[in-house]
Amino acid sequence: MKITQTKIAIVTGAGSGIGRAVSQELLGTGWSVALTGRRAEKLAETAAGHPEALVVRADVSRPEDVAALFAAAHDRFGRLDLLFNNAGTFGPGGVPVEELDYSAWRHVVDTNLNGAFLCAQAAYRQMKEQDPQGGRIINNGSISAHAPRPHSVAYTATKHALTGLTKSLSLDGRPYGIAVGQIDIGNAATDMTERMQRGVPQANGQLAAEPVMDVADVARTVRHMAELPLEANVQFATVLATAMPYVGRG
């Protein structure tokens, strides 16, 4: 049965971390959300207590999975107002560039960049054809879209590339009411960033603990971007732990 609502979202990487926080923020404020990721049990945890959530297991690096995801969301909800392109992986941490295996590089590129493109392309097609036309895509960049951490060449390269994807989609979406923006996040408190508080490598070679921020603050920022009228767009937003070593990093 199709649900006709004005606020329908797809969130990738919705099983944990930022994806889970954003999904639950949207679900708690009147959105219907298709939750996707590679671990069905984690997606079910995100969806718990929210009958308006749709769980679709998918690997965003696989074109057939992406096609099935968007078909399932369309069958359930009938339209799409928001894609939060969040799925990503850091890859093997602490590996010098000269030792990075090509398969590891390819996995990060396939997930972070190719996956984001495939989902954005599918969203773009649907938003262009639906009535009323248009919608919004928000790409999860990173502070690494601006400045790298040591030994993070694959992750950093893909996050820089996401900025180009965001700009191109934003330009090409103008005639169809498709607004595209990017949120660059620094040190949100999730399982992936737990190590920050224990100490992570700095540009000078030392280890240092870094402050983190509540991931709920990221979720509220994404919702603010998502709920603007399509005539307005946050092209780039940076939300980070106030005292983290980003400005002046290195």
pLDDT digit string (tens) for 184-233? Answer: 998 888 877 777 778 888 888 888 878 888 999 999 999 999 999 999 99
* Residue where the block lists tokens 């009938």: 78
CB 127 within 8 A of CB 135: yes
pLDDT digit string (tens) for 28-42? Answer: 999 999 999 999 999
Q: What pLDDT is attached to residue 2?
A: 46
Percent of the chain with pLDDT over 90: 79
Q: Which of 54-63, 85-94, 200-209 has the highest mean pLDDT?
A: 54-63
- Composition of the chain by helix, strand, coil, percent to 5: 45, 20, 35
Catalytic residue among 102, 124, 155, 246: 155
Q: What pLDDT is attached to residue 4?
A: 47
Neighbours of 209 (CB within 10 A): 11
More confident residue, 13 or 212: 13
Average of per-residue pLDDT across 18-22: 97
Q: What pLDDT is attached to residue 3?
A: 44
pLDDT band at 6 (very low <50, low <70, confident <90, very high): low
Percent of the chain with pLDDT over 70: 96
- 246 labelled catalytic: no
Please, what is the average pLDDT of the chain?
Answer: 93
Instruction: Please choose, from the candidates 240, 35, 12, 192, the residue with its C-alpha nearest in 3D space to the C-alpha of residue 112.
Output: 12
Q: What is the pTM of this model?
A: 0.93
- What residue type is 107 in one-letter code? H
Instruction: Please choose, from the candidates 114, 116, 108, the residue with its C-alpha nearest in 3D space to the C-alpha of residue 90.
Output: 108
Q: What pLDDT is attached to residue 249?
A: 57
pLDDT above 70: residue 24: yes
pLDDT digit string (tens) for 101-150? Answer: 999 999 999 999 999 999 999 999 999 999 999 999 999 999 999 988 88
Distances (CA, A) of 183 to 55, 166, 236, 250: 24, 10, 6, 22
pLDDT above 70: residue 250: no
